[in-house]
């Protein structure tokens, strides 16, 4: 039997060391894990981060708009978000009651991460446009990502203050999410703790819902009520799950769009050599409010006084012809403007570019009707043809020729993803004009006044950092471009026998509560300049104050030339004829569930489907649309029904899942399937090899 012997000194030292190391490890573990007991769970941290992104974006905008008293409007704007996050948190707690295995931590963390992703995207969109990233817009961004990505990168590059936190958040969140999904923290919560948390969150939710209902009953401020309060996760969820019109399964024609030869038009009985040339210039993003035309009132609140010499060429053209002072657009989007202007009918009120989907027979429009009496037609622009598949649009509109930025084959003229030096296309345009003896329809659109508002260095070497000032520089540039077009016509002796028609494609918003673009159809967004000149046929200095629309351009030009269009069935009117001063002018933004409505006289109704709210504006007494009233009861339902009926009547369809491919305008390969169209440029070098 082994005898017990005293522990050696070496053994005792080793034992003491092990015990000391164990105590140290235990102390370190307790030190590290102690804060964990006080930290929220991972899914709660993610939700908190999502809420911070949302509140931070709204706080930035509210403080920028209302620095003296921001807290009341900010609270109004964030209550819907707090309701949403409270509901999500309540759902997490209920899930913990039902099941406490690893599937619940993983599922709740994944859902919270989706909320965070949406919060970051929505906050970024909110800081860029001041309105919520509607599900419809998000769908368009995904569907046309190759077109939209250059715009997104441009915005990020110009707004590094937003872009850097966005990218860092995305990277860190992605790495951390993968780690926590692989190794989730187990749920350790007592029944009593769950009950207490459920009670607290339920009470908070009740208070928030009651507060929100009280806000809605008394009305909310113009700043947050028209924009920020709608930019919430709660309304995004309502947009996705709420009742709305569904057009995805429509297979029959919602309306008949006349094809070439189907409109009943009678040509003028005059020799071809007496027919006038027609030049149509569309001004990108130039609102009536920022011109030197009479009754231009500025486009911000408080209003920026219009500069008398901002657009001298446009003002002189109006003095030499007619100024349609109250012209509005149906949809403030460029492709929709092309359709309205040339087809003389309402564009489709729906996001997407159905106008570019190739059809068997082109749609009847200004170009196809003029061809019957010997006109040739062309379209020019310095933005890319791949964007929105515009070669397909003009092939469907039966133009003889269409030319885009890629056709120039000179990338040095590009200023941004969608803009370039418009002067670079003038030589090519007038080469086309000179290459024929027939009367011509020459159409074009400028690009420089499109966001991000850059002008070529030859025009201005250094631009202001102020957004509005940069935009004014692009308007001055655009007016100089117009003057050059008029000079080119004068040099060729074409002034007397050429109708010059100049109008905006849409306006632009610069008020604090709209900050970016045209997502809310305020007057400066939908009201555009429209002037025409034809010496000897239009009385100089004519001013027409009746309400007009882009869809009136084609009927007006045809009537002016001498066509009998009484049986043509255009939706537009002859703007030089009799117009009802109480004519109802409908409008809509172009994305799903966006604000839409109509103007009738001095009264404007704007319906927000996201919250089922109808606003009424008195433009005579409130020209800057700062103090709307809400309409309720039977009148509200009747007006909304009328607006929705107009919206539904604009829809048209193409054969579902039908693939088509064509080469158009020599250089453009266009293909389409269903409601998706794409265009690709064929370089001159490749064409030469084929020949």
Residue 358, domain CATH: 3.40.720.10
Name the band, by pLDDT with cuts 50, 70 and 90, for residue 386.
confident
> What is the mean pLDDT of the segment spanning 122-135?
68
Least confident of 411-420, 432-441, 539-548, 551-560: 411-420
> What is the mean pLDDT of the segment spanning 623-651?
92
Mean pLDDT for all residues in the chain: 82
Name the band, by pLDDT with cuts 50, 70 and 90, for residue 28.
very low
> What is the mean pLDDT of the segment spanning 568-584?
95
| pLDDT(347) > 70 | yes
> What is the mean pLDDT of the segment spanning 582-611?
89
Full residue range of the structural domain in which residue 621 is found: 595-652
Task: Work out the burial of residue 657: count CB atoms within 10 Å of its CB; fewer than 13 is exposed, 13-18 middle, 19 or more buried.
Answer: exposed
Same domain, 230 and 309: no
Percent with pLDDT over 70 in the chain:
76
* 285 φ, ψ (degrees, to nearest 5): 65, 20
Rg (CA), the chain: 31
Q: Are 185 and 42 in contact (CB under 8 A)?
A: yes
Q: What is the pLDDT of residue 244?
A: 41
Q: What residues have CB less than 8 Å from 558, skipping those under 6 apart?
A: 265, 366, 369, 565, 568
Task: Choose the final residue of a domain: 578, 604, 621.
Answer: 578
Condensed to tens digits (0 to 9), the pLDDT of residues 537-558 reads 999 999 999 999 999 999 999 9
> What is the mean pLDDT of the segment spanning 105-119?
83
Condensed to tens digits (0 to 9), the pLDDT of residues 247-283 reads 333 334 468 889 999 999 999 999 888 999 999 999 9
**Among residues 497, 502, 499, which one has the least CA distance to residue 529?**
502
Same domain, 384 and 427: yes
Pairing of strands 676-681, 498-504: unpaired
Distance of CA 102 to the CA centre of its chain: 42
Give the number of residues written for the chain.
691
Same domain, 599 and 473: no
**Among residues 77, 98, 92, 78, which one has the least CA distance to residue 47?**
92
- Evaluate whether residue 385 is within a structural domain: yes
Please state, in angstroms and rounded to a whole number, the distance separating the CA atoms of residues 381 and 391.
11
Same domain, 294 and 366: yes
Same domain, 298 and 216: no
User: Virtual CA dihedral for 255, 261, 266, 271, nearest 10 degrees?
Assistant: 140
Please state, in angstroms and rounded to a whole number, the distance separating the CA atoms of residues 204 and 86.
8
Pairing of strands 322-328, 542-549: parallel
Percent with pLDDT over 90 in the chain:
45
| pLDDT(46) > 60 | yes
More confident residue, 14 or 210: 210
Preceding peptide of 302 cis, ω within 30°? yes
- Evaluate whether residue 569 is within a structural domain: yes
- Evaluate whether residue 519 is within a structural domain: yes
> At which residue do the structure tokens 């308007």 appear?
475
Task: Choose the final residue of a domain: 515, 543, 578.
Answer: 578
Same domain, 403 and 539: yes
Same domain, 568 and 609: no
Most confident by average pLDDT, 248-262, 320-334, 337-351, 580-594:
320-334
- Evaluate whether residue 263 is within a structural domain: no
- Evaluate whether residue 298 is within a structural domain: yes
> What is the mean pLDDT of the segment spanning 75-85?
82
Counted domains in the chain: 3
Same domain, 609 and 569: no
Residue 26: helix, strand or coil by DSSP?
helix
Give 279's DSSP letter: E
Please state, in angstroms and rounded to a whole number, the distance separating the CA atoms of residues 587 and 606.
9
| pLDDT(5) > 70 | no
| pLDDT(371) > 80 | yes
Q: How many CA atoms lie within 13 A of 669 on its CB side?
A: 6
- Evaluate whether residue 366 is within a structural domain: yes
Same domain, 474 and 508: yes
* 626 φ, ψ (degrees, to nearest 5): -100, -20
Please state, in angstroms and rounded to a whole number, the distance separating the CA atoms of residues 184 and 270.
83
- Evaluate whether residue 670 is within a structural domain: no
> At which residue do the structure tokens 């924009």 appear?
227
User: Virtual CA dihedral for 224, 227, 228, 232, nearest 10 degrees?
Assistant: 130
Condensed to tens digits (0 to 9), the pLDDT of residues 223-238 reads 444 456 556 676 666 6
Name the band, by pLDDT with cuts 50, 70 and 90, for residue 83.
confident
Name the band, by pLDDT with cuts 50, 70 and 90, for residue 246.
very low
Same domain, 552 and 612: no
**Among residues 398, 681, 319, 366, which one has the least CA distance to residue 552?**
366
Q: What is the pLDDT of residue 630?
A: 92
Condensed to tens digits (0 to 9), the pLDDT of residues 330-339 reads 999 999 999 9
Q: What is the pLDDT of residue 210?
A: 82
Condensed to tens digits (0 to 9), the pLDDT of residues 645-683 reads 999 899 887 765 567 889 999 999 998 876 677 888 999
Most confident by average pLDDT, 54-58, 314-318, 464-468:
314-318
Residue 584: helix, strand or coil by DSSP?
strand
> What is the mean pLDDT of the segment spanning 98-121?
78
Please state, in angstroms and rounded to a whole number, the distance separating the CA atoms of residues 585 and 339.
17
Condensed to tens digits (0 to 9), the pLDDT of residues 282-302 reads 999 999 999 999 888 777 666
Same domain, 176 and 314: no
Condensed to tens digits (0 to 9), the pLDDT of residues 494-538 reads 999 999 999 999 998 887 655 555 778 999 999 999 999 999 999
Please state, in angstroms and rounded to a whole number, the distance separating the CA atoms of residues 386 and 405.
9
Most confident by average pLDDT, 17-21, 125-129, 412-416, 442-446:
442-446
- Evaluate whether residue 262 is within a structural domain: no
Q: What is the pLDDT of residue 162?
A: 64
* 625 φ, ψ (degrees, to nearest 5): 55, 50
Name the band, by pLDDT with cuts 50, 70 and 90, for residue 310.
very high
Same domain, 411 and 354: yes
Instruction: Report how far apart the first and last C-alpha atoms of the chain are (Å, whole number).
Output: 107
Most confident by average pLDDT, 11-25, 78-92, 103-117, 496-510:
496-510
Neighbours of 12 (CB within 10 A): 11
Q: Are 389 and 672 in contact (CB under 8 A)?
A: yes
Task: Work out the burial of residue 46: count CB atoms within 10 Å of its CB; fewer than 13 is exposed, 13-18 middle, 19 or more buried.
Answer: buried
More confident residue, 36 or 407: 407
Distance of CA 177 to the CA centre of its chain: 32
Q: What is the pLDDT of residue 477?
A: 97
| pLDDT(598) > 60 | yes
Name the band, by pLDDT with cuts 50, 70 and 90, for residue 31.
very low
Name the band, by pLDDT with cuts 50, 70 and 90, for residue 463.
confident
Q: What is the pLDDT of residue 122?
A: 79
């Amino acid at each position: 039997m082994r005898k017990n012997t005293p522990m050696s000194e070496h053994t005792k030292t080793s034992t003491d060391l092990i015990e000391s190391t164990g105590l140290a490890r235990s102390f370190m573990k307790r030190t590290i894990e102690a804060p964990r007991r006080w930290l929220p769970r991972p899914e709660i941290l993610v939700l908190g981060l999502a809420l911070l992104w949302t509140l931070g974006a709204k706080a930035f905008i509210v403080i920028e708009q209302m620095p003296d008293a921001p807290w009341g409007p900010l609270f109004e704007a964030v209550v819907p978000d707090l309701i949403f996050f409270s509901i999500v948190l309540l759902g997490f707690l209920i899930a913990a009651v039902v099941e406490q295995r690893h599937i619940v931590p993983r599922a709740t963390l994944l859902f919270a991460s989706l909320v965070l992703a949406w919060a970051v995207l929505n906050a970024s969109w909110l800081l860029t446009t001041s309105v919520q990233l509607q599900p419809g817009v998000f769908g368009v961004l995904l569907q046309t990502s190759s077109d939209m990505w250059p715009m997104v990168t441009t915005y990020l590059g110009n707004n590094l203050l937003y872009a850097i936190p966005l990218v860092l958040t995305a990277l860190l969140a992605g790495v951390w999410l993968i780690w926590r999904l692989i190794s989730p923290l187990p749920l350790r919560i007592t029944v009593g703790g769950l009950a207490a948390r459920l009670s607290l969150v339920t009470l908070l939710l009740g208070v928030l819902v009651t507060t929100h209902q009280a806000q809605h009953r008394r009305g909310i401020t113009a700043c947050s009520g028209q924009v920020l309060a709608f930019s919430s996760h709660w309304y995004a969820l309502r947009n996705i799950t709420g009742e709305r019109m569904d057009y995805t399964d429509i297979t029959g024609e919602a309306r008949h769009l006349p094809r070439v030869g189907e409109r009943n038009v009678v040509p003028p009985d005059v020799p071809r050599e007496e027919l006038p040339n027609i030049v149509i210039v569309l001004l990108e993003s130039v609102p009536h409010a920022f011109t030197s035309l009479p009754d231009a009132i500025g486009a911000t609140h408080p209003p920026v006084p219009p500069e008398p010499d901002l657009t001298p060429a446009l003002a002189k053209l109006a003095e030499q012809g007619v100024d349609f002072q109250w012209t509005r657009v149906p949809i403030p989007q460029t492709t929709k403007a092309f359709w309205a202007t040339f087809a003389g009918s309402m564009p489709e009120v729906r996001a997407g570019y159905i106008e570019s989907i190739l059809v068997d027979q082109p749609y009847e429009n200004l170009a196809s009707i003029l061809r019957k009496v010997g006109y040739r037609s062309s379209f020019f622009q310095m933005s890319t043809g791949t964007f929105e598949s515009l070669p397909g649009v003009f092939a469907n509109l039966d133009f003889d020729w269409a030319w885009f930025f890629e056709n120039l084959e000179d990338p040095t003229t590009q200023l941004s993803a969608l803009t370039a030096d418009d002067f670079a296309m003038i030589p090519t345009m007038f080469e086309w004009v000179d290459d024929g003896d027939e009367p011509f329809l020459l159409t074009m659109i400028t690009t420089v006044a499109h966001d991000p508002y850059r002008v070529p260095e030859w025009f201005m070497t250094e631009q202001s950092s102020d957004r509005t000032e940069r935009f004014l520089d692009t308007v001055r540039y655009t007016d100089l471009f117009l003057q050059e077009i008029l000079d080119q016509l004068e040099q060729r002796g074409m002034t007397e026998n050429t109708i010059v028609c100049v109008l905006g494609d849409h306006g632009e918003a610069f008020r604090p509560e709209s900050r970016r673009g045209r997502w809310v159809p305020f007057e400066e967004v939908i009201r555009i300049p429209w002037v025409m000149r034809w010496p000897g046929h239009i009385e100089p200095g004519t001013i027409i104050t009746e309400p007009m629309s882009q869809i009136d351009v084609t009927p007006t030009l045809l009537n002016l030339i001498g066509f009998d269009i009484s049986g043509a069935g255009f939706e537009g009117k002859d703007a030089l004829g009799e117009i009802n001063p109480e004519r109802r002018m409908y409008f809509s933004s172009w994305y799903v569930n966006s604000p839409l409505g109509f103007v009738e006289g001095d009264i404007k109704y704007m319906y927000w489907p996201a919250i089922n709210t109808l606003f009424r504006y008195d433009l005579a007494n409130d020209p800057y649309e700062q103090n709307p009233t809400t309409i309720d009861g039977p009148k509200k339902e009747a007006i909304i029904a009328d607006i929705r009926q107009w919206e539904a009547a604009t829809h048209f369809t193409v054969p579902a899942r039908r693939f088509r491919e064509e080469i158009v305008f020599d250089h453009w390969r266009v293909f389409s399937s269903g409601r998706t169209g794409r265009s690709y440029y064929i370089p001159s070098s490749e064409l030469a090899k084929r020949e």
